Amino acid sequence: MGQFNPSYFLHAANILLLVAYSVRDILWLRLFSVAASLIALPYFVLQPEPLWEPIIWSSVFAAINSFQSWRLFIERRPVKLTPEEQEIRQLAFPDLPPRKVLQILSIGAWTTVGIGERMLEFGKSVEAISIIVRGKVRVMRDDRVLGELAAGHIVGSALLLSGVTADVDAVVVEPVRCMRWEVVPFDRYLAANPETRIILQKYLARDLAGKVLAAAKL
């Protein structure tokens, strides 16, 4: 029998690279690239003098692709929302996948607001917006009731879009459970995630239109 030819390892590695470049899923591309880098190593090792430069670079490529494959696998694991998280997703973010919803919630904070507290105060700028999950908020101006906000409504949406100070008071009349976002980090997140920004802007527009219609009926 003839002596085994180390070139077979190189051929096998290149075949795997061809397979990697033909798949559409980035995770499989990286996994095939890892396999190709590892299979090519014996070819470089079994030369009369080991080829250390290709050995080192193949090891580096295998390590990088292994790490990125692990990250992709972690990101694709099924996400299970808590009942409260699922509730706010149904109210505000039905078009977003659960993982994106968790990202948005992670930059906010769950808050409970007691009866009589103000979520908006006349003459003050909006520092945060809140989506009501449970409870009720009464919108007033000069002791005149303009409307009420309940589950699914956003407190501060109109002011956030216009950038002006509050010309109303938003007073809690039933204990409120809400998700609250500080405006600055929230804007920063949306700037880095334009797809999420578009979906949220649509929701803000629907929320504002609903408030306008409700006010017109008063």
State the CB neighbour count (10 A cutoff) for residue 107.
Answer: 13
Into which CATH architecture does domain 83-217 fall? Answer: Sandwich (2.60)
Q: Please report where in the chains the tokens 């409870």 appear, as a residue.
A: 135
CA distance 186 to 160: 11
> Mutual orientation of helices 7-22 and 26-45 as an angle, nearest 10°?
170
> What DSSP assignment string belongs to 27-93?
HHHHHHHHHHHHHHHHHHHTSSS--HHHHHHHHHHHHHHHHHHHHHHHHHS-----HHHHHHHHHH-
Whole-Å CA distances, 172 to 49, 117, 134, 168, 175: 79, 6, 11, 13, 7
Domain ranges, ordered by start, for the chain: 7-76, 83-217
148 has a pLDDT exceeding 90 = no
Distance CA 27, CA 71 (A): 9
pLDDT in tens, 58-103: 999 999 999 999 998 887 887 888 888 888 888 888 878 888 888 8
Residue 213 has pLDDT above 60, yes or no: no
Q: For 26-50, how does the pLDDT look when each residue is reduced to its tens digit (9 = 90+)? A: 999 999 999 999 999 999 998 889 8
Mean pLDDT of 11-23: 90
| Mean model confidence pLDDT for the chain | 84
What is the per-residue pLDDT across 19-30, written as a single tens digit (0 to 9) for each? 988 898 899 999
Identify the DSSP state of 12.
H
Tell me the mean pLDDT in the region 101-113. 88
Per-residue model confidence (pLDDT) at position 35: 94
Degrees to nearest 5, angle at CA 204 with 198 and 207: 145
Instruction: Rounding to the nearest 10 degrees, give the CA dihedral for residues 126, 81, 136, 112.
Output: -70
- Give the residue among 21, 56, 14, 62 at the shortest CA–CA distance from 38: 62
User: Percent of the chain beyond pLDDT 70?
Assistant: 89
- At residue 1, the pLDDT reads 44
Judge whether 94 and 131 are in contact, CB under 8 Å.
no
The 10s digit of each residue's pLDDT in 115-129 is 999 888 888 877 788
